[in-house]
Amino acid sequence: MESYYEEIIEEIRDCIKRKEYETALSLVNKELSMPYIPAEAEEIFLQLKKDVVFSLSLKERNTEESTESLLRKLKGKPQSQLYAVSKLTDRNLHGCIDEIRDYLAKDPCVEAAALLVEGMYRQNINDEFVWMKDGVEYTFWVDSITPVEESEGFLEAMHFLDEWLSNDQPAMYELARKMLIHEAYCFLPLSYEADEGRDLAEMILKNISEMMDDSRTYSEIIEKN
């Protein structure tokens, strides 16, 4: 094997010893991207790449924030709650039922709580919870909620917004779509019925029109439809 390859292989191994895995991976990928590599060297590079990727995976796992730490963040400000929920919904929530029950009972950030509730639904958690939301108490069973993307009222409202805006007002449509998704999530644990779809779409359209100072578009669409 040529001395060049012996040197670069040694350099990669040194990086691995120093736990400089990102640098090692960059060096390996650079060599593997070359149009020609001697078969012996290529075999070593491929094995080194496997070793580096495995080490990076272990490093990421070891530095991952603990579930206990994330649960403590649920007691923080809204941004902290949203961050915690975004991580927790990728974990097994079955072991956190008591903490989640306590969280929902204390008027949490609505957006974070909604994502957590839907996360429990997707993990087939069937317990009963009490959610204090804006001073109103909602008692519900997780398996009885309707996920946002399955809500008939949500789908009907999305249909109207698509029909009214997607072709002629793409920027307004994108904003309206995002506002509708937000509204549907914040409505959990309830969901909109199909016959509420048009009213919901009109409300979203009106809010977006006011935000964009474009009442003319709102009036024209309502008059035509």
Q: How far apart are CA 116 and CA 104, in angstroms?
A: 9
Which band of pLDDT confidence, cut at 50, 70 and 90, is reported for residue 123?
very high
Tokens 């009109």, residue located: 202
Distance CA 109, CA 114 (A): 9
| pLDDT of 62 over the 60 cut | no
| Model confidence, pTM | 0.70
Q: What is the mean pLDDT of the chain?
A: 90
Among candidate residues 176, 178, 184, the one with its CA nearest the CA of residue 202: 176
Q: How far apart are CA 197 and CA 105, in angstroms?
A: 30
Q: What residues does each domain of the chain span?
A: 3-63, 67-145, 149-224
Confidence of residue 168 (pLDDT cuts 50, 70, 90): confident
**pLDDT per position as a tens digit, 191-217:** 999 999 999 999 999 999 988 888 888
| 51: Cα separation from own chain's centroid | 30
On whether the CB atoms of residues 5 and 34 are closer than 8 A, the answer is no
